[in-house]
Amino acid sequence: MRRGLPFALVAATALCCLSLPALAGEPSPADWLQRMTGSLHSESYQGTFVLQRDDRLDAIRVVHAAENGGYRERLETLTGAPREILRSVDRLSALKGARAAAGEAPHGPAGAPVFLLEHHDHYELKDMGADRVAGLDCRMILARARDTLRYSHRYCLHAATAIPLLSELYDGHGKLLERLAFTDLERLEEVAEAALEPTREDVERIEVRADHGHKKPDWDEQTGMDGWGFGDLPDGFTAIAATERRVGDNETRLRHFVLSDGLASVSVYIEKASGEQLFEGTTRAGATHGAARSIAGHQVTAVGDVPRATVQGVLDAVVYHSDQ
């Protein structure tokens, strides 16, 4: 029996879009998703969006500047405790959907390596027609999960740029897990540097770097990276990026792998640890699940916006060959 969004949700989505019929010759759903990923490192904008996770609702102001194939953005919370986040994502990370470690920091729309969808059929893609979000015309695209290893995704993509004005995650029972919806959006030809400067002393800085500033180790399909690699991964997932960098006062080596099925991504972090530094168990925050265990004196953590079984499956697939 097919698992995913129930018929009622698909029907409701179709009905909401009937008043704005699709035009002949429109791009395919896969084309729209590819344009979506491209928009995040080719379009600059500012606006306000609402982020809903479970019963928590946050309003966030964002200034997003595309540059050098990647992007920089400043996010400011408008609800709850005041917070400011400066995020910088390089070209390769933007293309592959890599993100910083999951946590409570607000985040804007993220890209995905949708080219991977060509290699499996774990999603059913549907064009649900035209709609409007934040007063802007957009295209509703549904990626319905065919199994329980991934969530279903629904997007409303700006008609002109494919910026995701709305993005939602649903579990296999059709329950909404997360929603990001813009309430206003303004495209910018250029972004003044002052708009990306911090305004608070306690600003949080997040950098996602895959193609410069950090060592790019050689990746081998058999031996992985310095002996670290993966065995049998959950269906549809594959390793798409491997990086390492030095962190902390002790310059501890942190290895970072990104795995994806084309829409969903899981990050795996590996660093040397011992004693009380080691943690084993699982965590959850909204649609995000995390799992950790120790391997060969290292803390290994997997985290992603996927079901718990998928994160656990990725973690269980991590292997270390000490002779490498």
- pTM, 2 dp: 0.82
**Pair 317, 233: CB distance under 8 Å:** yes
Residues 6+ apart with CB under 8 A from 253: 244, 245, 246, 271, 272
DSSP state of 81: S
Phi, psi of 109 (to 5 degrees): -60, 145
The domain ranges of the chain are 7-208, 228-320
Q: Tell me what pLDDT residue 249 has.
A: 62
Average pLDDT of the chain to the nearest whole number: 83
The model's pLDDT over 101-112, given as tens digits with 9 standing for 90+, comes to 444 556 667 677
CATH code given to domain 7-208: 2.50.20.10
Residue 188 has pLDDT above 90, yes or no: yes
The model's pLDDT over 60-98, given as tens digits with 9 standing for 90+, comes to 999 999 988 788 999 999 999 999 999 888 765 555 555
For domain 228-320, give the CATH superfamily: MucB/RseB, C-terminal domain (3.30.200.100)
Residue 195 has pLDDT above 90, yes or no: yes
Residue 7 has pLDDT above 90, yes or no: no
Q: Tell me what pLDDT residue 158 has.
A: 97
Share of the chain above pLDDT 70, in %: 78
Place 225 in a pLDDT band, splitting at 50, 70 and 90.
low
Residues 6+ apart with CB under 8 A from 114: 30, 33, 34, 36, 37, 262, 263
The model's pLDDT over 134-160, given as tens digits with 9 standing for 90+, comes to 999 999 999 999 999 999 999 999 999
The neighbouring-strand residues paired with 72 are 65, 88
Q: Quick one: how far is CA 145 from the chain centroid? A: 16
Q: Tell me what pLDDT residue 324 has.
A: 55
